[in-house]
Structure 1
Amino acid sequence: MKLNLITAFLIGIVVSVVAIADTLTLKDNHPETYEVVKGDTLWDISAHFLNSPWLWPRLWQKNSQIKNPDLIYPGDILTLIWVDGEPQLSRKILKKLSPTPRLQEKQAAIPTIPLASISSFLSRDHIIDPALLTGAPRLLGDGKATPRFFEGDIFYGQGQYDKGKLYGVYRLGEDYIDSVSKEFLGKQLIFIGLSEVSKNPNVSGTEQVTPHDFISSSREARQGDLILPIPEYETLPAYFLPQSVPKTMQGQIIAALNNSKAAGKWDIVVINKGQRDNVQIGSMFSILRSGPGILINKNSVVYQKYASKLDQIGSPDIKIPAERIGELLVFRVYDKVSIAMIMRSTEVIAPNYKIQGLAF
């Protein structure tokens, strides 16, 4: 029952889709055509045309040639046209002459964001309530008292396991704490590698232990690591639909994943907003850098010198508001936190930077 609860928690959340309504604004220096190249994302392509690239679905939603934006490929020529008073992209398939026309062979479709950057955080690394792991089976070691295990090794796991099923080896990582309320938000569950019941005829188990083949690893496993059933690998959606979030929703970046002290474009961060705050997959947030606080107060020399003019403002204190320096997109949602990708940043982003809902 415990393993079933953990498995249910680890399975991903379905992407929800909502309509996006806002006015499209083209960049002053936007191109009239664009040839899609390998490595492009829908976000990158939209950024060539729009001041607000998160409105990318509007660029082709009315165009019958591009009904599915996940079916845009390297080599396609995108041409800017106007439909019902709004800019749209029309696709023309690239042709080659050699010596007669033939369609260029298709490569992988263009995703919204770099899927390789988030794949491990969708199906492997997680944030979890450690109470769910009470009594979960552990890696016990081997008959030689080996302290560390790598791909190709055999180790014993506590309890019984199903043959032919994949299991994940995990380790608990850092605690996530809200820096303002000091509330405990969850604990990082770090993916170590994959194992399965050993097929080696020279090892056998008992009712208390089962031998495992360590079939792949991203880092070394250790005695005491968790062994949990891993969900079937999810097929990543080709695109994540941006979701508008009210500006009244405010929070913070509480951590940059991979133990990074700073982050930039395409990096992954944890925010202190989750399901309980109605955050969804695709929710968009602005990243804010707080101003330096009060610049002038009534006790300062500057205020005394310009008191008469400053009093006309109606307040003796002058503050600099927070400055928007980027945007992030949520791609995994938990109860109290979410994992997001930084889509744009004009400077290095650090934990405790504020975020605010991006309404559009």
Structure 2
Amino acid sequence: MRKFIISFIFLGCFVFSLSADELYVVKRGDTLWDICEKYYQDPFLWPKLWQINPQITNPHWIYPGDVLCLKETPEALIEATKKIKGQKKKEISFDWRYLEAVGYLLPYKEKSMGEIIKAVGEDKVILGQGDKVFIRFKENVKPKLGTIWTIFRISPVIKHPVTGKNIGYIHEILGTVKLTHIYQHMVKAQIVRSYDVIYVGDYLKPYEAFKPFSISNEKPKNIKAYIVASRAKITEIGWPEVVYIDAGEEQGLKPGQILDIFREKKNFPPLPLGQVLIIHVTPKTATAIILKSKYPFHSGDLVTALK
């Protein structure tokens, strides 16, 4: 096996007649949410910022060095972006911390050790990075001051796209909190990182840092599995989206393996769609990120390993 830093390819932004104060260069750890909060004083404007920067293919995946336009995009930029294919590409090393947000699929609901019960000082229901919150832990949990906890949410039951059977629940990783004050019946904490919108009522569990892995040339034997859902809950799935697969450690899957995706159609040979990289496994399921997609993936597409 060889050590590997995940790298993704993205296409640069063409900027015409924009002054320095109308541009922003993404720094490590930035999100569209954070940038909107800083420049517009409203983090919920992030969909608008994404809209005026069509070179950003996925709003959850921006990279240090990306150039964002902070004001309405000129027509010239829109036209240039349409013609961007074939221009010089830039390679960015991926930040492993973002993989903490991919989540996982389990056949059961993971037990919560606590939940967010209220924002500090105001009646906010929707929360984000920097917000202070009150947490109520389960009676058998003894939280320690200064510790980091993961915020998560559990999806409704996922039905298998091929068999129609209940397959489990997606556990969405939303962010992290740091415990700042411990009181008799509750704990005060600050959200130190948010990967998605956080709500009052979201759950907590102990924080576990994502463990980098090595790319493996090893292929699981006789693997035949299916994409059952995507993190973004969309039907047309492409690079660099996260997907969940109905096979895991018991079927020989390991982080670092690259698998092939096909679409099966009766009386036709399987259509090759692209490849995924396994980044997290449980005994019966796996989480993967799309490395390349010739065509959009769908739930129900076949996951296998070509020799």
Work out the CA distance in 2 between the residues paired with 1:124 and 1:287.
Answer: 19
Task: Tell me which amino acid in the other structure corresponds to 1:212.
Answer: A
Instruction: Give 1:195's aligned residue.
Output: 177
Q: 2:135 aligns with which of 144, 157, 168?
A: 157
Work out the CA distance in 2 between the residues paired with 1:173 and 1:180.
Answer: 19
Shift of 1:140: 1.2
Work out the CA distance in 1 between the residues paired with 2:124 and 2:152.
Answer: 18
| 1:275-299 CA distance string (max 9 Å, x none) | 22222223333211223x3xxxxxx
Instruction: Give 2:202's aligned residue.
Output: 225
185 and 122 in structure 1: CA distance in 2 versus 1, 3 angstrom threshold: farther
| 1:114-149 CA distance string (max 9 Å, x none) | 634x7433466333454431x531111156543233
Q: Is the 8 A contact 1:185 1:337 kept in 2?
A: no
Shift of 1:41: 6.8
Instruction: Give 1:352's aligned residue.
Output: 300
Identity of aligned residues (%): 14
Shift of 1:174: 4.5
Shift of 1:274: 0.9
1:325 aligns with 2:273: yes
Task: Tell me which amino acid in the other structure corresponds to 1:158.
Answer: R
358 and 176 in structure 1: CA distance in 2 versus 1, 3 angstrom threshold: farther
Q: 1:115 aligns with which of 90, 94, 98?
A: 94
249 and 197 in structure 1: CA distance in 2 versus 1, 3 angstrom threshold: closer
Instruction: Give 1:298's aligned residue.
Output: none
Instruction: Give 2:150's aligned residue.
Output: 168
Task: Tell me which amino acid in the other structure corresponds to 1:244.
Answer: K
Task: Tell me which amino acid in the other structure corresponds to 2:217.
Answer: P
Work out the CA distance in 1 between the residues paired with 2:291 and 2:206.
Answer: 32
Q: 1:236 aligns with which of 206, 212, 228?
A: 212
Shift of 1:338: 0.9
Work out the CA distance in 1 between the residues paired with 2:295 and 2:303.
Answer: 15
Structure 2: any 5+ residue segments left out of the alignment? Answer: 10-90
Shift of 1:163: 0.7
Paired residue total: 218
Instruction: Give 1:259's aligned residue.
Output: 233
Work out the CA distance in 1 between the residues paired with 2:93 and 2:164.
Answer: 33
Q: Is the 8 A contact 1:256 1:262 kept in 2?
A: no
Work out the CA distance in 1 between the residues paired with 2:157 and 2:249.
Answer: 19
Instruction: Give 1:283's aligned residue.
Output: 257
Work out the CA distance in 2 between the residues paired with 1:334 and 1:218.
Answer: 22
Instruction: Give 1:272's aligned residue.
Output: 246
Instruction: Give 1:211's aligned residue.
Output: 188
324 and 277 in structure 1: CA distance in 2 versus 1, 3 angstrom threshold: same
Q: 1:138 aligns with which of 75, 100, 115?
A: 115
Work out the CA distance in 1 between the residues paired with 2:256 and 2:130.
Answer: 38
Q: Is the 8 A contact 2:8 2:94 kept in 1?
A: no
Superposed CA RMSD:
3.1
Q: Is the 8 A contact 1:257 1:268 kept in 2?
A: yes
Q: Is the radius of gyration larger for structure 1 or structure 2? A: 1
Q: TM-score, normalised by structure 2?
A: 0.60
Q: 1:245 aligns with which of 202, 211, 220?
A: 220
Work out the CA distance in 2 between the residues paired with 1:356 and 1:122.
Answer: 25
138 and 240 in structure 1: CA distance in 2 versus 1, 3 angstrom threshold: same
Shift of 1:166: 0.6
114 and 266 in structure 1: CA distance in 2 versus 1, 3 angstrom threshold: farther
Shift of 1:253: 1.2
Task: Tell me which amino acid in the other structure corresponds to 2:243.
Answer: V
| 1:147-202 CA distance string (max 9 Å, x none) | 23333332211135211111122222243332233443332222222212225xxx
210 and 265 in structure 1: CA distance in 2 versus 1, 3 angstrom threshold: closer
Q: Is the 8 A contact 2:275 2:290 kept in 1?
A: yes
Structure 1: any 5+ residue segments left out of the alignment? Answer: 1-16, 19-38, 43-110, 294-318
Q: Is the 8 A contact 2:161 2:299 kept in 1?
A: no
41 and 180 in structure 1: CA distance in 2 versus 1, 3 angstrom threshold: closer
Work out the CA distance in 1 between the residues paired with 2:173 and 2:190.
Answer: 16
Work out the CA distance in 2 between the residues paired with 1:124 and 1:269.
Answer: 9
Work out the CA distance in 2 between the residues paired with 1:205 and 1:242.
Answer: 51
Work out the CA distance in 2 between the residues paired with 1:330 and 1:115.
Answer: 15
Instruction: Give 2:55's aligned residue.
Output: none
Task: Tell me which amino acid in the other structure corresponds to 2:94.
Answer: L
